[in-house]
């Protein structure tokens, strides 16, 4: 099993329910490998000091949430240089067309260029906008080849089980395609095809507090694992809702549906049902729902937040964890890369 999270800021509830919680649950059952995808976060050209600080805070959050270096291999992507070499090799079998059609590329490229999304445009329209833009801004090639790098993370460890949130499923589909293509081009049975593997529940999409579909760092709609109780309560109380139901069993608006999704993730089934019934008979008070939600979220995040500071302070421990993780991750990566070079014809005299 292998998965990773980009080092772009503190972890939020989306990362937790989509990924981290599943990592922790899987540790006793599989050969687990979890990493911090710092190379992937370079696509947005972060400030170097901020990048380093983010790697450290995510590492501390991994450990505080319960990832155990005695059970899992925990490493930093850039500590495994074999990944960068394999990224070059695999790119020779990846089409620029298929990369340009990836949803995450189109979304991020448009954001970088400041182009507003529109549902009516065809893939060709969007590609033209990105390639032929006159905004004076640039979409870097690293963003385009992001799925290659992610495929390499997985294939270099020959991982078959990849726990991720829903938004990463297309990248996994590409990984399988690249693996099949490589195997068939060279007539080998070399890369296994990885699948999404959600230990403890199907892939989820955690919604944002602003009424939008997805909680995301760049969306500014997040609850972070390290949010202080006061700030967290304030965020939840300010979440977008609507006027309230006026007729029994009315359909829910997206923002209210989102609050219920969050409640279903963090509360007991009884509490969620109680509020659903109150919605259906129009007796619901959104303020009560939000208060309950904030307390239930805090019950999940407080133990993690309380451990983070101590772990961050122990640099010696952090260094040891990632040094040991890198050693283990490199062992397997070096083997895969050596075989891959051989298969592709890069051979010694
Ligand atoms: P990243 O850093 O965007 O997100 C890390 C994990 O959190 C999940 N996630 C969510 N799940 C549910 N609801 C949300 N609102 C939400 N927001 C984030 C993501 O699905 C992901 O599982 N490309 C990856 C990192 C990566 C990777 C890999 C993952 C690089 N190489 C190899 C697996 C295997 C990414 O950007 O995730």
Domain 226-309 of CATH type 3.40.50.2000: no
Mean pLDDT across the stretch 196-208? Answer: 84
5 touches ligand 1 (CB under 6 Å): yes
Instruction: Pick the range with the lowest mean pLDDT from 129-133, 225-229, 326-330.
Output: 129-133
Task: Give yes or no for residue 260 having a pLDDT over 70.
Answer: yes
Pocket of ligand 1 contains residue 40 by CB under 6 Å: yes
Mean pLDDT value of segment 288-301: 98
Residue 57, ligand 1, Cβ within 6 A:
no
- Residue 128 a catalytic site member: no
Segment 330-339 shows an average pLDDT of: 98
Average pLDDT (61-80) is: 98
Angle between helices 254-266 and 286-313 (to 10 degrees): 50
Q: What is the pLDDT of residues 163-174, one digit of tens each?
A: 998 899 999 999
**CB burial of residue 159 (10 Å; 0-12, 13-18, 19+):** buried
Distance 102 CA to ligand 1 centre (A): 15
Give the percent of the chain with pLDDT over 70: 98
Looking at the chain, which residues constitute the CATH 3.40.50.620 domain(s)? 2-94+145-205+315-344
Give the chain's mean pLDDT. Answer: 94
Q: Please identify which residue in the block is written with the tokens 């800021």.
A: 9
The structure's pTM equals 0.94
Q: What number of CA atoms fall less than 13 Å from residue 257's CA on the CB side?
A: 12
pLDDT average, residue stretch 70-93: 98
Cβ contact 13:215 at 8 Å: yes
User: Residue 6's beta-bridge partner residues?
Assistant: 37
Residue 309 Cα to ligand 1 midpoint, Å, equals 24
Residue 114 CA neighbour count, 13 Å, CB half:
5
Residue 120's pLDDT band, with cuts at 50, 70 and 90, is low
In the reported structure, the alpha carbon of residue 164 is separated from the centroid of ligand 1 by a whole-number distance in angstroms of: 6
| 205 classed as catalytic | no
The H or E element spanning position 34 is strand 32-37
CATH 1.10.240.10 residue ranges of the chain are 226-309
Q: Can you state the angle between helices 286-313 and 315-344, rounded to 10 degrees?
A: 90
CATH 3.40.190.10 fits 2-94+145-205+315-344, yes or no: no
Across residues 6-31, what is the average pLDDT? 95
Is the beta carbon of 198 within 6 A of some atom in ligand 1? no
Structure tokens at 70: 């005695």
44-53, 124-133, 271-280 — which is least confidently predicted? 124-133
Closest residue by CA, ligand 1 atom 37: 5
The pLDDT, as a whole number, for residue 238 is: 95
Show the CA angle centred on residue 64, arms to residues 39 and 40, nearest 5°: 10
pLDDT of residue 119: 64
To test the pocket of ligand 1, the residue of 65, 162, 165, 214 to mutate (highest count of ligand atoms within 8 Å of its CB) is 165
Report how far ligand 1's centroid is from the alpha carbon of 30 (Å): 20
């Amino acid at each position: 099993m292998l998965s990773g999270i980009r080092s772009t800021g503190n972890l939020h509830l989306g990362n937790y329910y989509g990924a981290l919680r599943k990592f922790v649950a899987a540790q006793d059952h599989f050969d687990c490998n979890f990493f911090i995808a710092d190379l992937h976060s370079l696509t947005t050209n972060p400030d170097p000091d901020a990048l380093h600080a983010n790697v450290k805070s995510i590492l501390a959050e991994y450990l505080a949430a319960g990832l155990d270096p005695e059970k899992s291999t925990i490493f930093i992507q850039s500590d495994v240089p074999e990944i960068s070499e394999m990224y070059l090799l695999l790119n020779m079998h990846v089409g620029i067309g298929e990369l340009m059609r990836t949803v995450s590329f189109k979304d991020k490229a448009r954001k970088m260029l400041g182009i507003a999304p529109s549902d009516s445009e065809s893939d060709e329209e969007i590609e033209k906008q990105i390639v032929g833009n006159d905004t004076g801004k640039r979409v870097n090639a690293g963003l385009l080849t992001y799925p290659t790098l992610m495929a390499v993370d997985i294939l270099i460890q020959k991982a078959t089980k990849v726990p991720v949130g829903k938004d990463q499923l297309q990248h996994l589909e590409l990984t399988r395609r690249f693996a099949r293509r490589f195997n068939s081009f060279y007539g080998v049975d070399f890369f296994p095809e990885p699948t999404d593997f959600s230990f403890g529940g199907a892939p989820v999409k955690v919604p944002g507090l602003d009424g939008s579909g997805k909680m995301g760092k760049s969306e500014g709609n997040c609850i972070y694992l390290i949010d202080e109780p006061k700030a967290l309560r304030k965020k939840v109380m300010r979440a977008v809702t609507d006027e309230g139901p006026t007729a029994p069993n009315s359909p829910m608006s997206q923002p209210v549906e989102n609050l219920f999704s969050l409640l279903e993730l963090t509360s007991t089934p009884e509490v969620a049902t109680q509020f659903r019934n109150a919605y259906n008979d129009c007796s619901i008070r959104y303020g009560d729902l939000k208060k309950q939600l904030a307390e239930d979220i805090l019950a999940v995040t407080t133990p993690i937040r309380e451990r983070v500071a101590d772990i961050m302070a122990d640099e010696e421990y952090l260094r040891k964890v990632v040094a040991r993780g890198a050693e283990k991750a490199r062992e397997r990566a070096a083997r895969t890369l050596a075989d891959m070079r051989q298969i592709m014809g890069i051979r010694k005299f």
